[in-house]
Amino acid sequence: MSELSELYQQVILDHNKKPRNFRKLETANRHADGFNPLCGDQLTVYMQLEDDRIADVSFEGSGCAISKASASMMTQSVKGKTREEVETLFSEFHRMVTGELDEEATPNNLGRLTIFAGVREFPARVKCASLSWHTLHAALAGEDTTTTENLGPDITSDQVSA
Amino acid sequence: MIATETSTSGERQAGDTAAWDVARVREDFPVLGQTVNGKPLVYLDNAASSQVPQVVIDRGGRYLREEHSNIHRGVHYLSQRATTAYEGAREKVRRFINARESRECIFVRGCTEGINLVMHGYGRKFVTAGDEIIVSAMEHHANIVPWQMLCEEKGATLRVIPMNDAGELLLDEYEALLNERTKLVAVMHVSNALGTINPIKEIVARAHKQGVPVLVDGAQGAPHLSIDVQDLDADFYIISGHKMFAPTGSGVVYGKAELLERMNPFLGGGDMIRTVTFEKTTYAGLPNKFEAGTPAIASQIGLGAAIDYLNGIDRAAAHAYEHELLAYATEKLSEIEGVRIVGTAREKVGALSFIIEDVHPHDVGTILDQEGIAIRAGHHCAQPVMKRFNVPATARASFAFYNTKEEIDTLASAVQKVIEVFS
């Protein structure tokens, strides 16, 4: 159960039950819909972007505990950050959950988000954790929708075997 | 309420499992003996893909070791052996579903390809603007999307048979949908998401009264029920081999010969022709007209071996035992506070969909997997069904005759564990 309790930590369960910034943002000037067509998860990220800085951000949608908690904590982490800071965070988060970044050995800006490191032990759940980030990324890029189907397989190179 | 009635197990009582030696049967399926995450594998995802018995593995292996070559072409020894095995599998299929002739059994990769074959061959030839095609509210995407594509192309309309809150089709509403514009009825025999057994004979009879042919998606029917296509009077009956103990890449379109004869071919290419010139090609007769290119020979021979295996067991006892497993699982999960069963039709087989209050099915699936239990979590390629029951997804345990009551006990305690994690 250790990998499991690593995945479903109390903080994640709490954000699942009481997601933060879980609403439509009336002042939003950017938004994007994210879909995970394999499992039916879908969420919308709203963003009020002011001079390249995320003044406010929120989300709505339905999904599993991992995707909901990830979206909730993402909104907390990116509020007030610049586009560049957010893109760095997105890259670090993505590399952490796919096992490419050792968040303990390598300096990073992830902070509380390292709680999602346990996801990398569950390849089928990587897209759950990253859906909100891809959606945020799409909103920043001015795109309306994104889907996880174009993101390639869930596996990392060390999982390819004979 | 779980039905015990199937066409072969009707005379047997649900509690009568003395004839079914599940421990013996499990030995036939090598995959079941392994551990997953340190726990014995509990395989409850049979509606997605069933497991393969050793005799089927051996038959595929024998083809690859001793017979591998292309069919219908060579005059040489190996090609003749492969052709004999491949056509032998077709004859086994014919007997298994009681088709009149083996040429009515077209080999395809599975149900999705099979339904697309009928869409292209029948639909694109005979459906025109203003026509209607009837599907049901519980269909798998494989029996929705091809017909939508056809409707879009032809300017035809898709009509949908509604269902009640138990997950049973409303036959009076169905009858009201049938009219002179209806060109085809396409329904599933057994619902993969809800477990409902649809009254196919009745559905076919009502369509035929109006002269409308019926396609039956038999993906979940063939593994659990005895299929007699003549008794059902189905015009098309589609089977996926990998859901009935055969390898992936095997499957069958059964079609009445007179319909298949009138249809357009599906894929064009080698093996489906009689003569080819640059001016004009004439097509081969049945079944080759629908089997362009080199098929999945090993897989289809494996399907034949799976049918041999099913013929070698007491299928009536197996069916009764599966009903008993479903009844037991329904009872066990219903006892748990916070669990709701989705799909409570009177006639059910195979699949049990459920949701746990305030827990998303994917989280259920992950936690169960840690206990060695394989279930399906998601929309089961039936998003309209999820919408009908107002859930984003369900967790689904689906059974085969090699599952045990102990495995269902393991499932029930793992579900308890899920509730504890999320409490």
Q: Is residue A136 part of a domain?
A: yes
Q: How many alpha carbons lie under 13 Å from residue B323 in its C-beta half-sphere?
A: 27
pTM of this prediction?
0.92
Name chain B contacts of A64, Cβ cutoff 8 Å: 360-363
Residues of chain A short of pLDDT 50, as ranges, are 1, 153-159, 161-162
**How close B244 comes to chain A (CA, Å)?**
24
Yes or no, beta carbons of B359 and A65 under 8 Å apart: yes
Dihedral over alpha carbons B67, B71, B73, B77 (to 10 degrees): 20
Q: List the pLDDT tens digit at each of the 423 positions of chain B.
A: 444 434 444 444 444 445 899 999 999 999 999 999 999 999 999 999 999 999 999 999 999 999 999 998 778 999 999 999 999 999 999 999 999 999 999 999 999 999 999 999 999 999 999 999 999 999 999 999 999 999 999 999 999 999 999 999 999 999 999 999 999 999 999 999 999 999 999 999 999 999 999 999 999 999 999 999 999 999 999 999 999 999 999 999 999 999 999 999 999 999 899 999 999 999 999 999 999 999 999 999 999 999 999 999 999 999 999 999 999 999 999 999 999 999 999 999 999 999 999 999 999 999 999 999 999 999 999 999 999 999 989 999 999 999 999 999 999 999 999 999 998
Same-domain check for residues B331 and B268: no
Please confirm whether the linkage preceding B287 is cis (ω < 30° from 0): yes
Nearest to B89 by CA among B122, B67, B120: B67
Q: A61-99 pLDDT, tens per residue?
A: 989 999 999 999 999 999 999 999 999 999 999 999 999
**Least CB–CB distance from B362: residue in A4, A13, A39:** A39
Whether B184 and B215 share a structural domain: yes
CA distance A13 to chain B (A): 7
Q: Is residue A162 in a domain? A: no
Yes or no, beta carbons of B392 and A62 under 8 Å apart = yes
Tell me, what DSSP letter sits at residue B156? -
B394, B276: one domain: no
Number of residue pairs across A and B with CB atoms under 8 Å?
A: 48
B 365-384 residues inside an 8 A Cβ radius of A: 366-367, 370, 377-379, 383
From the list A1, A4, A40, which residue is nearest B393 (CB)? A40
Question: Do B67 and B46 have their domain in common?
Answer: no
- For residue B395, the model assigns a pLDDT of 97
At B316, which helix (H) or strand (E)?
helix B315-334
Closest-approach residue (CA) in chain A for B377: A39
Question: Is residue A152 in some structural domain?
Answer: no
- Chain segment B271-328, per-residue pLDDT in tens: 899 999 999 999 999 999 999 999 999 999 999 999 999 999 999 999 999 999 999 9
**What is the CATH classification number for the domain harbouring B126?**
3.40.640.10
Q: Give me the sign of the Cα torsion angle B180, B181, B183, B189.
A: negative
Are B362 and A128 a contacting pair, CB within 8 Å?
A: yes
Domain annotation covers residue A156 = no
Closest by CA position to B313, among listed B20, B5, B103, B6: B20
Whether A128 has its CB under 8 Å from any CB of chain B: the answer is yes
Residues 100-119 of B with CB under 8 A from A: none
Same domain? For B222 and B116 the reply is yes
Nearest residue in chain A measured CA to CA from B361: A64
Residue B151 bears catalytic tag: no
Q: Which residues pair with B50 in a beta bridge?
A: none
For residues B293 and B163, state if they share a domain: yes
**B81 exposure class (CB count in 10 Å sphere: 0-12, 13-18, 19+):** middle
Are B367 and A64 inside 8 Å of each other by CB?
Answer: no
Q: Which of B267, B289, B311 is at the close of a domain?
A: B311
Residue B3 lies in a domain: no
Angle between helices B361-370 and A65-78 (to 10 degrees): 110
Question: Are residues A39 and B386, on separate chains, in Cβ contact within 8 Å?
Answer: no
What local confidence, expressed as pLDDT, does residue A4 receive? 85
pLDDT reported for residue B9: 40
Indicate whether B307 and B319 sit together in one domain: no
> Considering only CB atoms, which chain B residues are within 8 Å of A3?
370
**B345 and B277 within one domain:** no
CATH code of the domain in which A96 resides: 3.90.1010.10
| A70: in domain | yes
Do residues B99 and B287 make contact, with C-beta atoms less than 8 angstroms apart? no
pLDDT given for residue A37 in this prediction? 76
- CATH (domain of B340): 3.90.1150.10
Q: Dump pLDDT digits (tens) for B172-216.
A: 999 999 999 999 999 999 999 999 999 999 999 999 999 999 999
Instruction: Specify the pLDDT at position B1.
Output: 40
Determine contact, residues A61/A44, Cβ cutoff 8 Å: yes
| Radius of gyration in angstroms for the set of CA atoms belonging to chain B, rounded to a whole number | 22
Nearest-Cα distance to chain B for A65, in Å, is: 7
> Is B173 found in the same domain as B87?
yes
Assess whether B134 and B44 both reside in one domain.
no
pLDDT at residue B7 in the model: 42
Residue A161 domain-assigned?
Answer: no
pLDDT, chain B, mean: 94
Among B283, B311, B339, identify where a domain stops.
Answer: B311
In a domain, A159, yes or no: no
- B348 is in which domain, residue-wise? 9-52+314-422
Q: State whether B422 and A13 contact (CB < 8 Å).
A: yes
Q: Does A40 sit within 8 Å of B383, measured CB to CB?
A: yes
Number of independent structural domains in chain B: 2
- Residue A11: which domain range? 3-145
**B296 plus B323 within the same structural domain:** no
Q: How many domains does the structure of chain A reveal? A: 1
